[in-house]
Amino acid sequence: MRIVSAEVIVTSPGRNFVTLRLTTEDGVTGLGDATLNGRELAVQSYLENHVVPLLLGSDATRIEDTWQYLYRGAYWRRGPVTMAAVAAVDTALWDIKAKCAGMPLYQLLGGASRTGALAYGHASGRDVPELLDSVRAHLEQGYRAIRIQSGIPGLGPVYGVAAAGTDGADRYDYEPARRAAAGGIPLPVTETWGTRAYLRHVPAVFEAVRAEFGPELPLLHDGHHRMTPIQAARLGKALEPYDLFWLEDATPAEDQAALRLIRQHTTTPLAIGEVFNSVYDYTTLLSERLIDYVRSAVTHTGGITAMRKLLDLADVFGIKSGMHGPTDISPVGMAAALHLDLAIHNFGIQEYMQHSDRTLEVFRTAFTFKDGLLHPSDTPGLGVDLDTEAAAHHPYEPAYLPVNRLADGTMHDW
């Protein structure tokens, strides 16, 4: 079954998405997500110029071999652009194989290990009362696990805190990366960061949320890579009384050894890896059991083939999945995650921010969210269709996440 066409579709229904659509000689189509926020066109170019010519005429049934060909066959391995492109090809081939089998993809991965995937949503508030309202709104939507982020006294707007409530057109005002004003140059907004103010405030936020909602609700928190190892150790320790599900991205993620220091000081569970793109980013973390959850996404870590191997390795060390699921992973990438979530044994939790209605008019999804659990549906394949006519109404618009500087102007980490 030969691949006869490979199209890269860039569309921006709320935020930018890069999708690969493969078509076989029998007319079966498969979709793969290649979205890399703020660097979308680099992946588009990598696919169009360096991957599509290799795929045309090749056998769509050979998923493992195609993965190895694109990974081992390239002199330059790994990196976010390369691995997002490989992921898109791999995911599209799995979509095709499952459609040909007439089965939802999770059946080809071993079948369901659970009835649904526990999802967590993003509650946030500029202050604690607003955060408590946001947690309440998430509980009403059915979430059974919630990430909490709050504004910090003394600092201006901080990343991860919605500008106004949780129900805007795109649901999370902070998440659609900010676009340029009409005709303007699209530069990232600069926010001011101060880690000492942050470290003082976070325990009080958890105290207030636990006081209001009790001990049972799983609560998560994201540090967005902004602490030093010793600061993260201190925060983890300070948060122990509040029984976090996890503390995420405590330190800049390229330094695996940093997690050793944090681990020595705290029993707060740790998650990292949403910006990783290969199993090699995890070798120290897994073999020394320095983390509890793997944050990698199918979209950014080489697709279903690579994620399955990574998560199987994590399982050997008792480490679970906690896949990245922001709105800059397309519904195609989200569906791919859900099939894995359902099938693997060592599932932990799935991030689920919910795409905007605009996004869902372009990407028609079959997956469901009910009583706090996500299910990929029993539609053959991934269960996502791309409406290319609707996609064409939303041309690419440059957009970036904010950057951070300290009060004295020093650049700070993402």
The catalytic residue positions are: 159, 224
Which region among 24-32, 66-74, 96-104, 321-329 touches ligand EZ4 (by CB under 6 A)?
A: 321-329
Sketch the per residue contact string, 267 through 296, with Co ion: x for CB under 5 A, - otherwise.
-------x----------------------
Reading the block at residue 247, the tokens are 């503390």
Which region among 3-11, 163-171, 214-222, 403-411 touches Co ion (by CB under 5 A)?
A: 214-222
Give helix then strand counts, H and E, for the chain: 14, 19
Reading the block at residue 4, the tokens are 């006869």
User: Which segments within 211-338 are labelled E, that is strand?
Assistant: 219-222, 246-248, 270-272, 293-294, 320-323
CA distance 116 to 375: 5
CA distances from 59 to 3, 19, 96 (A): 6, 20, 12
Q: Which is nearer to ligand EZ4, 99 or 324 (CB)?
A: 324
Sketch the per residue contact string, 344 through 363, with ligand EZ4: x for CB under 6 A, - otherwise.
-------x------------
Q: Which is nearer to ligand EZ4, 306 or 399 (CB)?
A: 399
Q: Which is nearer to Co ion, 118 or 253 (CB)?
A: 253
Name residues whose C-beta falls within 8 Å of residue 72's C-beta, 6 or more positions apart in sequence: none
Q: Which is nearer to Co ion, 40 or 222 (CB)?
A: 222
Q: Which is nearer to Co ion, 222 or 281 (CB)?
A: 222
Which of residues 40, 130, 175, 222 is near Co ion by CB under 5 A? Answer: 222
CA distance 405 to 127: 22
170 binds ligand EZ4 (CB under 6 A): no
> Other CB atoms closer than 10 Å to residue 75's CB: what's the count?
5
274 binds ligand EZ4 (CB under 6 A): yes
The β-bridge partners of 149 are 124
Which of residues 199, 401, 402, 403 is near ligand EZ4 by CB under 6 A? Answer: 401
CA distance 325 to 122: 11
Contact 225, 259 (CB under 8 A): no
326 binds ligand EZ4 (CB under 6 A): yes
Contact 383, 376 (CB under 8 A): yes
37 binds ligand EZ4 (CB under 6 A): yes
Least Cβ distance, residue 388 to Co ion (angstroms):
31
Q: Name the residues that contact ligand EZ4, by CB under 6 A.
A: 37, 222, 274, 324, 326, 328, 351, 401
